[in-house]
C-alpha cells in the first residue's frame, strides 16, 4: 500500500506502508543508531515525533517482549529505507510489521531516508504528516503538507502528561520488571538497599532496570507529584527521568525539583537534566536537529575520559545560562553543548545523555553507582 | 596527551611480499602510518622487501630499506639507524613476528628501542593460545574449549573436556592437511594418529567444534587515555568453519539486537583492556550460537588487520592513520575526523548503507587441490561493494569480482541432482552462493537451505527476494517497451525496482535477450539514473568534507561536480594472481602526479585493500564495480576530460573499447593501438612492417587445426588462449597427445576464442623491458634479465636489473627494438616488451602498451617514478618537459623474486611454467648481483644455507650443467645427496655422493632424509609429467620443511653463487635514498 510522508516545507516522500494504516502527525526527526529499533520505538521520549532510522535495513531481528522501554511503541510514526519482513534472531517473537500493526503505529518504507535526513540536518527538524492510502485510494500530498504546516509542533507543549504514569507504583511489582536479561541481574549484594523515588516524565524501563541492578528499590511517581508528597515517602534519593518534548512548559515539575534541592540526593537524565537545569536558573533552547543516536562522544571533564553515549534530545540546557553554583561535568565533543552538571553544594547531578543506554553503548553506566554513592554520602 | 617529544625517529616494518592472508591492505596501513607520522615531524625509517608498495616510495619515509624482513636484517637496520621507537602493529603478522623476535632476543633493549602501540607482553598475551584463553577466563568470557596433544594418550586425555564433535588440526601441515572433525571416539583415534604422523612437529590442536555458529568481528581502537571505540562491526554470511578471509562478510552486523550487540561491544572493550594493547586498532572475532545466543571469543589480532582495511573503507574512518597518531601519544579526542572536519575522531562511525565484501579465489591455477573452503584462507583478493540495501550491495559485489558474474546470476549447471546440490550447499565452496540460487529457483525452502549451509536465514531471505523478483521480471512483457523505448508507468516502476535490487543492465539484457546498450538507453530515457551518496562516517548527521561516493538507486544525488579539469583513473579491482598491488601502485602514482599538474583526479575502484581507495589519494573517490555500466554512469556524472585505462591492469583495458565507443575520451595509447598489440594477426603485421622477429607461431580454432600447426612449428610449443593476463591456461606442450588434451579440455577453442600456438624457444634468455614514450620520444626505464629461461611466466621468474649476462650489442639491440615498437604502436605512456634471446637472435614474445607488473620494481631500482611520468605524458606533457630523457643504468643490482602460495594448495602442481602462480614479489638490492639474489631469496622466506646437505636430482638434459653446480657446492663444504641417475654423473666427476632411492624403488628415499632434517638445499629439475608425483612430493615436503628448492639450472646456479657470496661475508643494508643518490 502506498504511503506518503509530507513535510511542512512542502517536501513529499512517497513510499510503501507497513505496520498500521491511517494518518499521523508529528515532528520528523532522525536517529543514527544502527541497532535497537525496538528500544527506540518504545522510548516515551519520542512521543510527538515521527522517527526516521538512518540505518537502511530495519526489522531484521524482529521484536520480543524484553527489549522494550515502556509498555509499547510510543512514536507517532516510523520511517525506514527497507523494512525486513523476515526476522531472524533466537529471541525474536514477532515481526516488526506485526508489532507496529498491533500497536497501531504507521510505518513507511522504501523512501530515501538519507535525503530526508540531509533535509532535516540542513533545515532543522520540521513537522510532518504521515498517511497511508485510504480505502478509496485517496492520498493527497498537498493536503498532507497543509496539515503538517498547520500543526502546532513541540515547542511549548506539555507532552509529559501523555506519557507519565497515572498512579504511583513500585517497579519491583511491575510486570515488566521480571523480564530481564542475564546481564541485568543485580550487581549489588544489598538488593533494594536504596529507596528511590523516580519522577516519571516518560521514563525508560532500562533506567529502572539499572537502578534496580545498582541496589535501588524504586517507587515511580507521576510527573505532577509534589515535593511534599515525595518527601513524605522518605526516599534516600530522587531520580528525574527522561521524557518527551519541551521542558519549559513543565513549571510544576520545575517547582518540585526546586523544593527538593538540597533535601535529597538528586540524579536526572535527559529531560530530568533539563528540568534540573531550569530549576537551577538555567535556560533551555531547541537544537536545530537534536542528538539522536548511539555514537555521541561526551567528555567527562573530571577525568578527561571520553564516553560514547546514547542520546535522544531535541532541547538542550544553554551552557552559558547556568549559575556559578553549578559545575559543568560533561560536554559533547561534536558540538560543545552541555552534557552534564553537578551542583557545587547540593547533592544533585544530571546528564543530558542516556547512561542506561538501551539502545546504545554502556560506557556511562558508572553514573548509577555515582548516584548510590551520593546517597551513601548523604545518609 | 599531545604527541610525544621524547622520540624523534620511528622504525616502521612492512609486511613484505603479497601472500594469501597478507595482501596490499598492509601497504594501505603502512602508507597511512608513514604519512601520519611524517606529518607530525618524526623521522621515519622503513623496512619492507616489497617493491610494489606505495610505502616504499622514497618520499614516504626518510630512510627506506628494501631489505628482507627478518630479525637479523632488521637488527642491522636498527644498528645503522638507532631509532627511538618501533611501531610493530601496521605490517601484518610479518611485522609483528619480527618485532616480537627482536624484543625477545634483547635486540630492542640493546639499542634502546621502545615498542610503541603494543608492548611485548600484550602481543604475547594475544598471540599465545594458552595465555589468551587464560586472559579471557579472567574477565569472565568464554572461548571454545581446546588443547594441544603430542601423542594419542594426550589427545585422549583432552577429549573428555572438549567433547564431540571435536576438530583436529595438525600443526604446520600444508593447508591444514590431515585435519578433520571427529564425531566419535573411534574416528577420533584414527584422525589423531594420522594427524600426528603428518605434522612435522607431531603436534595437534584439538578444539571444540562450533562449526555453523554465527561469526562476527569488531574493529576496536584504544588510546593512551584508555578511551575505547568500536569503528565497525562485521557479520560473516558464511558461518564458523570458513576462514573470515574466505567468507562473504557484511558491515554493519545485521542480525543482532542492541542488547546482544552491546554485550559483544562490552566484551571487546574488556578484551582490548585485558590484553593491554596500549594504543591502536585490534580486531576481535566472536562466534554466537544461533540457537541460544551464547557468545564465545575466537581470537584477537593486536594489530591492524585485513578487516581493519575493510572497516576503514566501509566507514570512512582511517584506522591505520589514527592508530599511528595514537602510538605517538595523541588521544582520540585530539585528532579531528577528516571526513567531517568539525568533529573529533573519538566517536563510533555510524553508517547508513550496507557494505558487502566478497573474496576472489584462484583455484583454476592450482588444479588438483581440494577446493573446499576451510579455516585456512585460500582467497587471493576481495571486492567490496556499498549499496542502499543488502540486495543491492551483494549484486554490486558479485559484479565487482570480475569473474564473469554480473550479479546474483544463475549457476551454469541448472539441474544438479538434489543429493549433489545439497552437498554443494553443505560443503563450503567458491560457488556456494550460486548453488543457493539454484536451490531457491527450484523452490527449496529457506529452512532447508539453512539446514545445509547454516547461513543466517536473514541473508537467505534477501537472496530469495532477488530470485522472486527476477522471476516476476521475466514474466513481464517488458522487452517491447525496451525495444521501442516507449514509456509506461508500470514498466518504469518495475525497472526502477530492478535497479534498487541491484540488477545490472547486463543482467536485464540477459533476461530479455537484448543488448546491454539498449537497456541502458531505455533506462536513461525513463529517467532511471544511478545516484551517488557520500560515505561520511556519520549517516549525514554532519556535512562531509571528503567526496567519497557510492552509487545506489534512490531519489537524491549528492555529487556536485566541479568545473575543474578532471581526469578519471580506473583501478584494477580485486587482487588476483597476475593483477595486484603493482597496478594499484600505478593508479596511486597517476593520482599524485596529475594532482601536482593541477587536475582534479577521480579514482574508481572496488578493492578495499588498496591505497587507491583511500579518501585522500585522489580528489574524488568512487567505490564502485569496474564494469562498463558503472564506469559510464560515473563518466556521465563527472564528464572528465580524460580517462586513464592503462594503469589498472587488464580490468580497465577490457573496458577501453566499449568506453571509447560510448564517447569516453581515453588518454594515452589509444584502444585501437592496444588492440593491435593484443590481437595476434594485427600484431604480426606490425612486426612484419618494422622487421622484428617473433617465435614461429600460428592460430587455431579447433583441435584438428592445431595439430598440423604444432607439427610444422615443431614440439615443444606454447599454447594459450588469446587475450589473457597472468598466462591464464598457458602451457608448454611436448607432443600431439598433450596438444589434443589441451585443446579439447583446457580451453575449448572456438572461432571467437582462438588458441595461439608458439614455437617454444628452449633455453632462451628472457628479457623484460619497461619503457615510456610521449609519442615522439621513447626512453627505456629498465631492462630486466630473467634468471629462469624463457617458458616460465615473467611474473614467476627471478629477474635482474641491469642485465648480468647480456653483452652491450644485445642490450643495444633490445633498446633499438623497443624504440621501434613504441613508435609503431603510437605509445603514449608506458610499454612493456618481453623478448627472448636465443643464439644471439632477439625474438619479440609480447608487447603490452600499458603499465606492467614490473613498473614499481623498475622505478625503485632506477630511482625514477615511471608511472607518475607516464600519467603526466598521457595528460599532454613531453618527456623533455618532464626532464626524463636519459636512461639510467644503475651501478648496483636489483633482483626481483616471486613468492608462491603452494603451501595453501596441497596436491596442486607446483611446477613453474607459462601460467603465473605467484602472489607477490620481493626485491633484493646490492652492489653485487649474487648478494642481491641472496637478499631476494631471504626476503621470500628462504634463507640460503651456508653449509649442510644438498639434495640433487635433475633430468637428463641438465646432468651436464649440474656438475659444475655440484662441484661448487662440495668446494663450499656441502655434502651431496642424489638419486641414482644424478648420483652416477656426480660420482664419475669425482664427487662424493650419498645415494637415495627414487620414491617407491627402495629405502632410504629423500623423504626419509627430509624427515630426519638432513636436507638443507634441494636442486630438482622436473623431468616432464612422468615423475610428476615424485617431484610433487619432494616439492611439497620442501615447502612444509622450509627448505630452499631450485627447479631450474640457472636458478640453482644463481643460488650457489649467492651462497658463495654469503660465505665470504655478512650482508649489509642500505636505504633506497642512498642508492638513488
Local confidence band at B911 (pLDDT 50, 70, 90 cut-offs)? confident
pLDDT attached to residue B1012? 86
Which residues on chain B are in Cβ contact (under 8 Å) with A298?
Answer: none
pLDDT of A188 > 60? The answer is no
Local confidence band at B616 (pLDDT 50, 70, 90 cut-offs)? very high
Say whether A334 and B351 touch across the interface (CB within 8 A): no
pLDDT attached to residue B1024? 61
B863 touches chain A (CB under 8 A): no
pLDDT attached to residue B704? 87
Q: Radius of gyration over alpha carbons of chain A, in Å? A: 20
pLDDT attached to residue B1026? 46
Local confidence band at B1027 (pLDDT 50, 70, 90 cut-offs)? very low
Local confidence band at B222 (pLDDT 50, 70, 90 cut-offs)? very high
The x, y and z cell numbers of residue B635, run together, are: 563518466
pLDDT attached to residue B41? 97
Say whether A306 and B227 touch across the interface (CB within 8 A): yes
Cis peptide bond N-terminal to B241, omega within 30: no
Which of A235, A240, A242 lies closest to A192, judged by CA?
A: A235
Please, what is the angle between helix B808-824 and helix B680-690, to 10°?
Answer: 120
Give the best residue of A2, A125, A306 to mutate against chain B (max B CB count within 10 A): A306
Counting residues of chain B whose pLDDT is more than 70, the rounded percentage is: 98
pLDDT attached to residue B1031? 77
Counting residues of chain A whose pLDDT is more than 90, the rounded percentage is: 92
Q: Nearest CA of chain A to the CA of B618: how many Å? A: 25
What average pLDDT does range B162-166 have in this prediction?
Answer: 91
pLDDT of B315 > 70? The answer is yes
pLDDT of B679 > 90? The answer is no
Distance CA B430, CA B427 (A): 10
- Digit-coded pLDDT (tens) for B460-510: 999 999 999 999 888 877 777 776 767 778 888 889 999 999 999 999 999
Q: Are B810 and B929 in contact (CB under 8 A)?
A: no
pLDDT of A237 > 70? The answer is yes
Local confidence band at B1028 (pLDDT 50, 70, 90 cut-offs)? low
Which of B397, B313, B320, B243 lies closest to B608, judged by CA?
A: B313
pLDDT attached to residue A190? 65
Counting residues of chain B whose pLDDT is more than 90, the rounded percentage is: 79
Distance CA A295, CA A310 (A): 6
Q: Which residue bears the cell 609429467? A: B1025
Task: Select the residue of B263, B388, B446 nearest A56 (Cβ to Cβ).
Answer: B388
Q: Nearest CA of chain A to the CA of B25: how many Å? A: 26
Indicate which residues of A carry an active-site annotation.
Answer: 270, 354, 356
Which of B118, B56, B122 lies closest to B86, judged by CA?
A: B118
Q: Are A6 and B232 in contact (CB under 8 A)?
A: no
Q: Which residue bears the cell 564465545? A: B296
Q: Are B577 and B853 in contact (CB under 8 A)?
A: no
Residues 215-254 of chain B with CB under 8 A from chain A are: 225-227, 229, 233, 252-254
Q: Nearest CA of chain A to the CA of B139: how many Å? A: 14
Task: Please give, one letter per residue, the 3-state secondary structure of B717-754.
Answer: EEEEECCCCCCCCCEEECCHHHHHHHHHHHHCCCCCCC
Average pLDDT score, chain B: 93
Query: What per-residue string of b and e applies to A13-46 under the rule 16 or more CB within 10 Å gives b?
Result: bebbbbbbbebbbbbbbbbbbbbbbbbbbbbbbb
pLDDT attached to residue A187? 63
Q: List helix spans (H) across B58-91.
A: 71-81
pLDDT attached to residue B1040? 80
Local confidence band at A182 (pLDDT 50, 70, 90 cut-offs)? low
Which of A241, A174, A158, A239 lies closest to A201, judged by CA?
A: A241
pLDDT of B397 > 90? The answer is yes
Say whether A35 and B261 touch across the interface (CB within 8 A): yes
Which of B24, B51, B4 lies closest to B923, judged by CA?
A: B51
CA distances from B343 to A297, B313, B336, B351, B816 (A): 9, 19, 6, 16, 58
pLDDT of B751 > 50? The answer is yes
- Digit-coded pLDDT (tens) for B502-548: 999 999 999 988 899 999 998 999 899 999 999 999 999 999 989 99
Which of B78, B55, B75, B80 lies closest to B66, judged by CA?
A: B55
Cis peptide bond N-terminal to A108, omega within 30: no
Q: Could you tell me the strand order of the sheet in which A237-240 lies?
A: A169-170, A216-222, A194-200, A237-240, A266-269, A348-351, A338-343, A326-332, A284-300, A305-317
What average pLDDT does range B14-26 have in this prediction?
Answer: 93
- Digit-coded pLDDT (tens) for A284-329: 999 999 999 999 999 999 999 999 999 999 999 999 999 999 999 9
pLDDT of B325 > 60? The answer is yes
CA distances from B1021 to B717, B898, B915, B966, B1038 (A): 19, 18, 18, 14, 14
CA distances from B929 to B792, B924, B968, B1059 (A): 21, 9, 18, 12
Distance CA B1050, CA B582 (A): 26
pLDDT of A147 > 60? The answer is yes
Residues 298-337 of chain A with CB under 8 A from chain B are: 299, 304-306, 308, 333-334
Distance CA B1017, CA B386 (A): 49
CA B968 to chain centre: 38
pLDDT attached to residue B539? 96
Say whether A295 and B353 touch across the interface (CB within 8 A): no
- Digit-coded pLDDT (tens) for B842-867: 999 999 999 999 999 999 999 999 99
pLDDT attached to residue B487? 73
pLDDT attached to residue B1000? 77
A71 touches chain B (CB under 8 A): no
Greatest Cα-to-Cα distance within chain A, rounded to the nearest angstrom: 66
pLDDT attached to residue A290? 96
Q: List Cβ neighbours of A118 (8 Å cut-off, separation of 6 or more).
A: B540, B556, B558
Q: Is A129 left (phi over 0), alpha (psi -120 to 50) or beta?
A: beta
pLDDT of A189 > 60? The answer is no
Local confidence band at A211 (pLDDT 50, 70, 90 cut-offs)? very high
- Torsion angle of the four alpha carbons B383, B386, B392, B395, in this order, in degrees rounded to the nearest 10: -10
pLDDT of B564 > 90? The answer is yes
A35 touches chain B (CB under 8 A): yes
What average pLDDT does range A351-365 have in this prediction?
Answer: 97
Helix (H) or strand (E) holding A7: strand A2-7
Measured in residues, chain B has a length of 1077
The region of weakest confidence among A6-15, B57-66, B960-969, B1062-1071 is: B1062-1071
The x, y and z cell numbers of residue B698, run together, are: 600460428
The region of weakest confidence among B386-390, B549-553, B748-752, B1014-1018 is: B748-752
What average pLDDT does range A143-150 have in this prediction?
Answer: 96
The region of weakest confidence among B52-61, B196-205, B550-559 is: B196-205
Distance CA A95, CA A19 (A): 10
pLDDT of B729 > 80? The answer is no
Q: Nearest CA of chain A to the CA of B574: how many Å? A: 26
Say whether A82 and B389 touch across the interface (CB within 8 A): yes
Distance CA B886, CA B531 (A): 48
pLDDT of B799 > 90? The answer is yes
pLDDT of B753 > 80? The answer is no
Which residues on chain B are in Cβ contact (under 8 Å) with A362?
Answer: 262, 265-266
The x, y and z cell numbers of residue B776, run together, are: 615522439
pLDDT attached to residue B1032? 77
CA B467 to chain centre: 32
Amino acid at each position: 500500500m502506498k504511503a506518503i510522508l509530507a513535510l511542512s516545507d512542502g517536501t513529499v516522500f512517497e513510499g510503501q506502508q507497513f505496520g498500521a494504516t491511517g494518518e499521523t502527525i508529528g515532528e520528523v526527526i532522525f536517529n543514527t543508531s544502527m541497532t535497537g529499533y525496538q528500544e527506540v520505538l518504545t522510548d516515551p521520549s519520542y512521543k510527538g515525533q515521527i522517527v526516521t532510522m538512518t540505518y537502511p535495513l530495519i526489522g531484521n531481528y524482529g521484536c520480543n517482549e524484553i527489549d522494550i522501554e515502556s509498555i509499547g511503541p510510543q512514536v507517532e510514526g516510523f520511517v525506514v529505507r527497507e523494512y525486513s519482513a523476515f526476522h531472524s534472531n533466537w529471541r525474536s517473537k514477532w515481526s516488526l510489521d506485526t508489532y507496529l500493526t498491533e500497536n497501531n503505529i504507521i510505518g513507511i518504507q522504501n523512501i530515501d531516508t538519507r535525503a530526508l535526513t540531509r533535509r532535516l540536518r540542513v533545515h532543522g527538524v520540521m513537522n510532518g504528516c504521515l498517511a497511508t492510502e485510504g480505502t478509496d485510494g485517496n492520498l493527497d500530498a498537498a493536503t498532507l503538507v497543509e496539515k503538517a504546516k498547520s500543526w502546532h509542533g513541540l515547542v511549548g507543549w506539555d507532552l509529559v502528561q501523555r506519557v507519565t504514569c497515572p498512579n504511583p507504583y513500585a517497579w519491583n511489582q511491575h510486570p515488566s520488571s521480571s523480564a530481564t536479561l542475564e546481564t541485568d541481574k543485580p550487581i549489588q549484594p544489598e538488593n533494594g538497599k536504596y529507596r528511590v523515588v523516580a519522577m516519571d516524565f516518560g521514563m525508560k524501563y532500562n533506567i529502572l532496570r539499572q537502578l534496580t541492578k545498582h541496589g535501588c528499590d524504586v517507587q515511580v511517581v507521576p510527573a505532577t507529584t509534589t515535593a511534599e508528597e515525595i518527601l513524605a515517602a522518605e526516599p534516600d534519593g530522587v531520580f528525574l527521568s527522561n521524557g518527551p518534548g519541551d521542558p519549559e512548559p513543565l513549571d510544576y515539575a520545575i517547582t518540585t525539583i526546586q523544593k527538593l534541592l538540597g533535601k535529597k540526593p538528586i540524579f536526572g537524565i535527559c529531560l530530568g537534566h533539563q528540568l534540573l537545569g531550569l530549576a537551577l536558573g538555567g535556560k533551555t533552547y531547541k537544537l536545530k536537529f537534536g542528538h539522536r543516536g548511539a555514537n555521541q562522544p561526551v567528555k567527562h571533564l573530571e577525568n578527561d575520559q571520553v564516553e560514547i553515549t546514547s542520546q535522544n534530545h531535541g532541547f538542550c540546557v544553554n551552557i552559558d545560562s547556568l549559575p556559578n553554583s553549578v559545575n559543568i561535568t560533561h560536554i559533547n565533543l561534536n558540538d560543545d553543548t552541555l552534557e552534564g552538571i553537578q551542583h557545587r553544594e547540593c547533592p544533585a547531578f544530571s546528564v543530558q545523555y542516556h547512561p542506561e543506554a538501551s539502545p546504545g553503548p554502556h560506557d556511562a553506566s558508572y553514573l548509577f553507582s555515582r548516584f548510590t554513592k551520593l546517597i551513601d554520602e548523604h545518609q | 596527551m599531545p604527541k610525544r617529544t621524547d622520540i624523534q625517529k620511528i622504525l616502521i616494518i612492512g609486511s613484505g611480499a603479497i601472500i594469501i592472508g597478507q595482501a596490499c591492505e598492509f601497504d594501505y596501513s603502512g602508507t597511512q602510518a608513514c604519512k601520519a607520522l611524517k606529518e607530525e615531524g618524526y623521522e621515519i625509517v622503513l623496512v619492507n622487501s616489497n617493491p610494489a608498495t606505495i610505502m616504499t616510495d622514497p618520499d614516504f619515509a626518510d630512510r627506506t630499506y628494501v631489505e628482507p624482513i627478518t630479525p637479523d636484517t632488521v637488527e642491522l637496520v636498527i644498528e645503522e639507524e638507532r631509532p627511538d621507537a618501533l611501531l610493530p602493529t601496521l605490517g601484518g603478522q610479518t611485522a609483528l613476528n619480527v618485532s616480537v623476535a627482536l624484543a625477545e632476543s634483547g635486540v630492542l633493549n640493546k639499542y634502546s628501542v621502545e615498542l610503541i602501540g603494543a608492548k611485548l607482553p600484550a602481543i604475547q598475551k594475544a598471540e599465545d593460545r594458552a595465555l589468551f584463553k587464560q586472559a579471557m577466563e579472567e574477565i569472565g568470557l568464554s572461548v571454545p574449549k581446546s588443547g594441544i596433544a603430542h601423542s594419542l594418550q594426550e589427545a585422549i586425555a583432552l577429549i573428555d573436556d572438549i567433547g564431540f564433535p571435536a576438530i583436529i588440526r595438525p600443526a604446520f601441515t600444508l593447508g591444514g592437511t590431515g585435519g578433520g572433525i571427529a564425531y566419535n571416539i573411534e574416528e577420533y583415534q584414527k584422525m589423531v594418529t594420522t594427524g600426528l604422523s603428518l605434522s612435522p612437529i607431531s603436534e595437534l590442536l584439538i578444539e571444540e567444534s562450533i562449526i555453523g555458529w554465527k561469526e562476527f568481528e569488531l574493529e576496536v581502537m584504544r588510546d593512551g587515555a584508555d578511551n575505547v571505540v568500536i569503528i565497525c562491526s562485521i557479520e560473516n554470511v558464511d558461518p564458523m568453519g570458513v576462514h573470515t578471509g574466505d567468507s562473504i562478510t557484511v558491515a554493519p552486523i545485521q542480525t543482532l539486537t542492541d542488547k546482544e550487540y552491546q554485550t559483544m561491544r562490552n566484551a571487546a572493550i574488556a578484551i582490548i583492556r585485558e590484553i593491554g594493547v596500549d594504543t591502536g586498532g585490534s580486531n576481535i572475532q566472536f562466534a554466537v550460537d544461533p540457537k541460544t545466543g551464547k557468545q564465545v571469543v575466537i581470537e584477537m589480532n593486536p594489530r591492524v588487520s585485513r578487516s581493519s582495511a575493510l572497516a576503514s573503507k566501509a566507514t570512512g574512518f582511517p584506522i591505520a592513520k589514527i592508530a599511528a597518531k595514537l602510538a605517538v601519544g595523541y588521544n582520540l579526542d585530539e585528532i579531528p575526523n577528516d571526513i567531517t572536519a568539525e568533529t573529533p575522531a573519538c566517536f563510533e562511525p555510524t553508517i547508513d548503507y550496507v557494505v558487502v565484501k566478497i573474496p576472489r579465489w584462484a583455484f583454476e591455477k592450482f588444479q588438483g587441490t581440494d577446493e573446499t573452503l576451510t579455516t585456512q584462507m585460500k582467497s587471493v583478493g576481495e571486492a567490496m561493494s556499498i549499496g542502499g540495501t543488502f540486495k543491492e550491495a551483494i549484486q554490486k559485489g558479485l559484479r565487482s569480482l570480475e569473474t564473469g558474474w554480473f550479479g546474483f546470476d544463475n549457476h551454469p549447471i541448472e539441474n544438479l541432482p538434489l543429493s549433489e546440490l545439497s552437498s554443494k550447499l553443505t560443503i563450503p565452496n567458491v560457488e556456494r552462493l550460486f548453488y543457493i540460487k539454484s536451490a531457491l529457483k527450484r523452490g527449496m525452502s529457506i529452512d532447508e537451505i539453512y539446514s545445509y549451509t547454516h547461513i543466517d536465514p536473514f541473508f537467505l531471505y534477501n537472496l530469495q527476494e532477488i530470485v522472486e523478483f527476477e522471476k516476476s521480471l521475466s514474466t513481464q512483457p517488458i522487452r517491447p517497451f525496451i525495444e521501442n523505448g516507449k514509456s509506461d508507468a508500470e514498466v518504469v516502476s518495475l525497472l526502477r525496482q530492478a535497479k534498487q535490487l541491484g540488477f545490472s543492465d547486463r543482467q536485464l539484457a540477459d533476461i530479455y535477450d537484448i543488448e546491454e546498450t539498449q537497456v541502458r538507453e531505455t533506462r536513461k530515457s525513463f529517467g532511471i539514473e544511478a545516484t551517488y551518496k557520500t560515505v561520511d562516517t556519520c549517516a549525514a548527521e554532519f556535512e562531509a568534507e571528503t567526496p567519497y561516493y557510492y552509487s545506489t538507486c534512490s531519489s537524491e544525488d549528492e555529487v556536485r561536480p566541479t568545473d575543474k579539469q578532471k581526469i578519471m583513473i580506473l583501478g584494477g579491482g580485486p587482487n588476483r594472481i597476475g593483477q595486484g598491488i603493482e597496478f594499484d601502485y600505478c593508479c596511486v602514482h597517476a593520482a599524485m602526479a596529475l594532482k601536482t599538474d593541477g587536475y582534479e583526479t577521480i579514482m574508481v575502484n572496488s578493492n578495499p585493500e588498496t591505497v587507491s581507495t583511500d579518501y585522500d589519494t585522489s580528489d574524488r573517490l568512487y567505490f564502485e564495480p569496474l564494469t562498463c555500466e558503472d564506469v559510464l554512469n560515473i563518466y556521465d556524472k563527472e564528464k572528465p576530460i580524460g580517462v586513464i585505462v592503462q594503469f589498472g591492469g587488464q580490468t580497465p583495458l577490457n573496458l577501453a573499447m566499449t568506453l571509447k565507443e560510448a564517447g569516453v575520451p581515453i588518454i594515452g595509447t589509444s584502444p585501437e593501438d592496444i588492440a593491435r598489440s593484443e590481437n595476434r594477426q594485427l600484431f604480426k603485421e606490425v612486426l612484419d612492417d618494422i622487421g622484428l622477429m617473433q617465435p614461429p607461431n600460428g592460430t587455431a580454432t579447433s583441435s584438428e587445426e592445431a595439430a598440423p600447426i604444432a607439427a610444422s612449428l615443431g614440439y615443444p610449443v606454447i599454447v594459450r588462449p588469446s587475450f589473457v593476463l597472468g598466462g591464464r591456461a598457458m602451457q608448454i606442450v611436448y607432443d600431439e597427445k598433450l596438444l589434443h588434451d589441451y585443446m579439447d579440455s583446457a580451453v575449448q577453442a572456438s572461432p571467437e576464442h582462438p588458441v595461439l600456438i608458439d614455437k617454444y624457444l628452449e633455453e632462451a634468455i628472457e628479457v623484460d623491458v619497461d619503457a615510456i614514450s610521449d609519442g615522439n620520444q621513447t626512453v627505456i626505464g629498465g631492462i630486466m634479465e630473467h634468471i629462469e629461461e624463457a617458458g616460465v611466466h615473467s611474473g614467476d621468474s627471478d629477474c635482474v636489473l641491469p642485465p648480468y649476462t647480456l653483452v652491450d650489442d644485445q642490450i643495444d639491440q633490445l633498446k633499438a627494438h623497443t624504440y621501434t615498437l613504441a613508435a609503431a604502436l603510437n605509445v603514449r605512456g608506458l610499454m612493456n616488451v618481453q623478448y627472448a634471446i636465443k643464439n644471439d637472435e632477439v625474438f619479440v614474445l609480447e608487447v603490452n602498451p600499458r603499465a606492467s607488473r614490473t613498473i614499481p620494481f623498475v622505478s625503485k631500482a632506477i630511482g625514477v617514478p615511471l608511472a607518475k611520468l607516464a600519467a603526466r605524458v598521457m595528460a599532454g606533457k613531453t618527456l623533455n618537459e618532464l626532464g626524463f630523457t636519459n636512461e639510467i643504468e644503475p651501478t648496483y643490482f636489483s633482483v626481483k623474486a616471486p613468492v608462491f602460495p603452494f603451501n595453501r594448495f596441497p596436491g596442486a602442481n607446483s611446477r613453474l611454467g607459462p601460467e603465473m602462480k605467484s602472489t607477490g614479489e620481493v626485491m633484493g638490492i646490492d652492489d653485487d648481483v649474487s648478494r642481491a639474489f641472496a637478499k631476494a631469496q631471504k626476503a621470500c622466506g628462504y634463507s640460503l644455507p651456508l653449509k649442510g646437505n644438498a639434495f640433487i636430482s635433475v633430468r637428463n638434459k641438465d646432468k651436464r650443467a649440474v656438475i659444475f653446480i655440484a662441484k661448487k657446492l662440495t668446494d663450499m663444504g656441502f655434502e651431496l645427496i642424489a638419486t641414482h641417475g644424478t648420483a652416477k654423473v656426480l660420482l664419475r666427476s669425482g664427487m662424493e655422493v650419498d645415494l637415495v632411492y627414487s620414491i617407491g624403488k627402495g629405502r632410504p628415499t629423500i623423504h626419509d632424509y627430509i624427515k630426519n632434517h638432513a636436507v638443507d638445499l634441494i636442486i630438482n629439475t622436473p623431468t616432464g609429467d612422468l615423475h610428476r608425483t615424485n617431484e610433487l612430493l619432494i616439492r611439497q615436503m620442501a615447502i612444509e620443511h622450509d627448505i630452499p628448492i631450485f627447479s631450474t639450472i640457472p636458478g640453482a646456479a644463481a643460488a650457489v653463487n649467492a651462497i658463495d657470496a654469503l660465505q665470504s661475508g655478512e650482508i649489509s643494508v642500505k636505504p633506497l635514498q642512498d642508492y638513488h643518490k
